[in-house]
Amino acid sequence: MSTEITIKEAALQLNISVQRVRTLCREGSLSARKLGTTWVIDHESLHKYGLRTAHTVAEDHPAYFVNNKKPIALSFFSGAMGLDIGIEKAGFDIRLACEIDKFCRQTIALNRPKTALLNDINNYDAADIRREAGLNNNDEIDLIMGGPPCQAFSTAGNRKGFNDDRGNVFLKYLELCLELRPKYFVIENVRGLLSCPMEHRPHEKRGQEYPDLSEDELKGGALNFILNRLEKSGYGYSFNLYNSANFGTPQIRERVIILCSRDGKEPPFLIPTHSETGEYGLPKWNTLKRCITKISHHDHLTFPEKRLKYYRLLEPGQNWKNLPLELQKEAMGKSFFSGGGKTGFLRRLAWDRPSPTLVTHPAMPATDLAHPTENRPLSVQEYKRIQEFPDKWELAGPIIQQYKQIGNAVPVSLGCAVGTLIFNLLNGIDIIQHKDFKYSRYKCTTDKEWKEQFRHLVERHNSKSEQQELGFG
């Protein structure tokens, strides 16, 4: 059932003036009725108007509004703006967003029409960016943040690193940051960045008949290149692999966050707000049940009947392994006899745990994200709740694109943790860290541990190469 909202609420959702909303009501662009001396507007009509006009707004344009009272942030690879929302919550004014995907651009235009919007990062230089963001020559940039496309480094992909075109935009982003010289900049990426080579050599071109792998071709070569470039530029840095659940997100989602500081100092780690079992006196991880209840409307994909047959037999938190043995074999087919845990097959989520990492499609056979009790995948609205987007956040495009936008996003709480830390550093606020806090389930994920591990890898590789040259290999 459709609801009605006030002119003021409509203006906030569209990011336009109240007077402009009145005009839209009078001319019939919005479905509205007079209530006394004012208008009330049909919410569904407002939603359709936003989607209908998004493509006209989602052209490149400069910033329409500037807030000189807040620290200035610029966003690249903005996506659906999960990281941006978190940075905003921490107190920053996001002057500019840069995004190439057309549906994400429409989403940005729907929700932040006054923010400068740029397209392909390769089309702009530092002067273009300063101009479009409404920055004068004397204006300092406090923060630049971005998560370059992660597929080039993902453990699920071919791991081509910087040989991939998407890896090349990573380098473009890095060089733009170093040229614009913000006080701080942030690189967000997947865990695969920790082990991806700078240059990928096909496996068929490795062996005794080929030259030894170079340092750039070793595991971790890409990150080593980035760190060397930061050191040469005078930026200090720190990084870790952060589990979003430790910052209040009802989801186990791990991302590498590299914090870079122009003053050459090593930034502290992000400050957790939650812990798995309540360590350090922090609240326990948020659960799925806390976030996806009380949603009035759901847009979702469907499971085929052949999978629903099994879902009807599963309880919250169960998967195919909880079926009777004969049904396990029937449901899994040849996959039953293959290795691996296969925990994503026929998986119902648990109420009392955070969600697993959201994927871009909740109904793929190997990464099912089924509702704990209902016979369906998670809905778009539940995706938004888990990633902590506001309920009113408008998503452009067909449903599969909406899933993709939210599934690729940075959780808002993780973004807020990044923004809060940098805001406090900008303002000289003391930062108290939890000693030996377990940020992730993996080892050697902090900058110091990782650098030591990579140094040993290089030494072993050089020693092996030397032995081979001497005829001992």
With residue 38 as reference, give the H or E element that holds it: strand 38-42
Please give the pLDDT value at position 200.
73
Burial label, 334 (beta-carbon count in 10 A; 0-12, 13-18, 19+): exposed
Neighbours of 305 (CB within 10 A): 7
Helices 7-14, 43-57: axis angle to 10 degrees equals: 30
Neighbours of 189 (CB within 10 A): 25
Q: What sections of 75-233 are H helices per DSSP?
A: 82-89, 102-111, 126-132, 165-180, 221-233
Mind listing the pLDDT tens digit for each residue in 440-458? Answer: 999 999 999 999 999 999 9
pLDDT band for position 473 (cuts 50, 70, 90): very low
Please give the pLDDT value at position 375.
97
pLDDT band for position 154 (cuts 50, 70, 90): very low
Give the residue-averaged pLDDT of 310-319. Answer: 97
The answer to whether residue 240 scores a pLDDT higher than 90 is yes
Please give the pLDDT value at position 329.
94
Write the Ramachandran bin of 137: left for phi over 0, alpha for psi from -120 to 50, otherwise beta. alpha
Task: State phi, psi for 97 to the nearest 5 degrees.
Answer: -125, 145
Please give the pLDDT value at position 226.
95
How confident is the prediction for the chain on average, in pLDDT?
89
Pairing of strands 143-146, 184-189: parallel
Please give the pLDDT value at position 117.
94
Nearest in space to 265 (alpha carbons), one of 234, 240, 297, 239: 234
The answer to whether residue 290 scores a pLDDT higher than 80 is yes
Residue 396 in tokens: 């452009």
* E strand map for 210-273: 236-243, 254-261
pLDDT band for position 2 (cuts 50, 70, 90): low
Please give the pLDDT value at position 472.
40
Measuring CA to CA, how many Å separate 173 from each of 74, 339, 385, 422, 444? Answer: 12, 39, 30, 19, 26
Please give the pLDDT value at position 305.
94
pLDDT band for position 470 (cuts 50, 70, 90): very low
The answer to whether residue 361 scores a pLDDT higher than 50 is yes
Please give the pLDDT value at position 221.
92
The answer to whether residue 256 scores a pLDDT higher than 60 is yes
Please give the pLDDT value at position 60.
73
Highest mean pLDDT among 122-131, 148-157, 159-168: 122-131
Please give the pLDDT value at position 340.
78
Of the given ranges (50-64, 170-184, 434-448), which has the lowest mean pLDDT? Answer: 50-64
Which of 98, 104, 150, 196 is catalytic? The answer is 150
Nearest in space to 182 (alpha carbons), one of 122, 130, 123: 130
How much of the chain exceeds pLDDT 70, in percent?
88
Please give the pLDDT value at position 156.
46
Please state, in angstroms and rounded to a whole number, the distance separating the CA atoms of residues 261 and 167.
23
The answer to whether residue 191 scores a pLDDT higher than 50 is yes
Please give the pLDDT value at position 193.
93
Mind listing the pLDDT tens digit for each residue in 85-140? Answer: 999 999 999 999 999 999 999 999 999 988 999 999 999 999 999 999 999 888 99
Please state, in angstroms and rounded to a whole number, the distance separating the CA atoms of residues 119 and 277.
43
Please give the pLDDT value at position 209.
64
Count Cα atoms within 13 angstroms, Cβ side, for 91: 14
Please give the pLDDT value at position 327.
96
The answer to whether residue 426 scores a pLDDT higher than 50 is yes
Pairing of strands 93-98, 116-118: parallel
Measuring CA to CA, how many Å separate 324 from each of 22, 216, 320, 373? Answer: 62, 50, 9, 19
150 is catalytic: yes
Neighbours of 208 (CB within 10 A): 7
Please give the pLDDT value at position 52.
66
With residue 93 as reference, give the H or E element that holds it: strand 93-98
Give yes or no for a contact between 5 and 43, defined as CB atoms under 8 angstroms apart.
Answer: yes
Q: Judge if pTM exceeds 0.75.
A: yes
Please give the pLDDT value at position 365.
87
The 8 Å CB, 24+ separation contacts for 452-458 are: 453/220, 454/218, 454/220, 454/223, 454/224, 457/218, 457/219, 457/220, 458/215, 458/218
How much of the chain exceeds pLDDT 90, in percent?
69
Of residues 156 and 376, more confidence is placed in: 376
Give the residue-averaged pLDDT of 394-406. Answer: 95
Q: At the fourth CATH level, which superfamily is domain 72-285+412-463?
A: Vaccinia Virus protein VP39 (3.40.50.150)
Please give the pLDDT value at position 220.
93
Angle of CA points 323, 324, 328, to nearest 5°: 65
Buried b (16+ CB within 10 A) or exposed e, 139-162: eebbbbbbbbbbbbbbeeeebbbb
SS3 content of the chain, % helix, strand, coil (to 5): 40, 15, 45
Of the given ranges (2-6, 161-165, 195-199, 369-373), which has the lowest mean pLDDT? Answer: 161-165
Count Cα atoms within 13 angstroms, Cβ side, for 177: 33
DSSP state of 322: G
Residue type, 8: K
Pairing of strands 93-98, 254-261: unpaired
The answer to whether residue 205 scores a pLDDT higher than 70 is no
